[in-house]
Every structure is written in C-alpha cells, then in structure tokens.
Amino acid sequence: MSVCDFGALSIDKEKGLPVVDEEKCTSCGACVNICPRGLFEVRPLKDKRVFVACKNTQKGGVAKKNCKVACIGCSKCKRTCDIDEVVVENSLSYISPKIDADKYGIDLVKCCPTKAIVGINLEENKE
C-alpha cells in the first residue's frame, strides 16, 4: 500500500489480500516491482476477463494442502483450451490477458477443479 502513490491499494481485512481500485490505478507498476511474492500483474482493463488467481508453484498435493483454491497444475485448463494463451509450467497455470474471454472464459472457469480460474463479466456469470 505504501508504494502506491495513487491510493489505489487497500487490504481486504477478511481475506488478508490486497485489492486494487481500478478507478484510481494508473498502471504505474510500483506494486508489481515491490511485491516479494510476485502477486501483481498489470493487465489491460477489459470488461470481460478470465485469469488464474494463484501464483503458487508448489506441487499439486502441497499446494492443495496449503490452500483449497490454489492451482494444482493439473493442466485441465490446457486440455480444455489447447491454445497458446494458456500455459502450465512449474505446477502453475497462467492465462494470458490476450485470451478471447468471450470464447474461452466460461469453459476455463468451469473446468478448473479448485476454482483457481476466475471469470469476470462472462455471460453465464451475469444474473
């Protein structure tokens, strides 16, 4: 929070995790550079999004033991959408911001056994 000159960062007290205020964030990258866990990434601000909300590179069983929503590197996402925008390495999946969330988003969210894949504004998420 102290490196963000724009007041865009706060901590969700319930989850104990940082939250970015998208209205205030200028994509300066200071949080990306300072986080010792490498949790931040600057991604284009798109209405529809799909991403892996995990940076845990521990092997599947260990990751699962430590966090029930961790990516366990099972590669189901890669098998579901065998495209360049989905990469699984070191027991961790990464979904590029270049992915067509409209086309692949719902399938990716549904296929993940741990719910590590998050979708925003995908059609089936709208109530």
CA–centroid distance for 41 within its chain: 9
Supply angle C-alpha 88, 113, 76, rounded to 5: 35
Write down the least CB distance from residue 84 to ligand SF4, Å. Answer: 15
Of 81, 109, 112, 122, the one binding ligand SF4 (CB under 6 A) is 112
Site for ligand SF4 in 79-108 (CB under 6 A): 88, 93
Is 26 a binding residue for ligand SF4 by CB under 6 A? The answer is yes
Write down the least CB distance from residue 112 to ligand SF4, Å. Answer: 3
Under DSSP, the state recorded for 7 is: S
Q: Which residues 6+ apart lie within 8 Å of 2 measured at CB? A: none
Write down the least CB distance from residue 11 to ligand SF4, Å. Answer: 12
Is 33 a binding residue for ligand SF4 by CB under 6 A? The answer is no
Of 69, 83, 87, 111, the one binding ligand SF4 (CB under 6 A) is 111
Question: Which of 121, 66, 14 has its CA nearest to residue 109?
Answer: 121
Q: How far is CA 12 from CA 1, 5, 17, 73, in A?
A: 12, 19, 5, 27
Q: Give the interface segment with ligand SF4, choosing from 28-36, 43-51, 99-107, 118-126 (CB under 6 A).
A: 28-36
* Whole-angstrom distance, CA of residue 76 vs CA of residue 111: 6
Give the residues lining the site for ligand SF4 (CB under 6 A): 3-4, 6, 8-9, 20, 25-31, 42, 52, 71-77, 88, 93, 111-114, 116-117
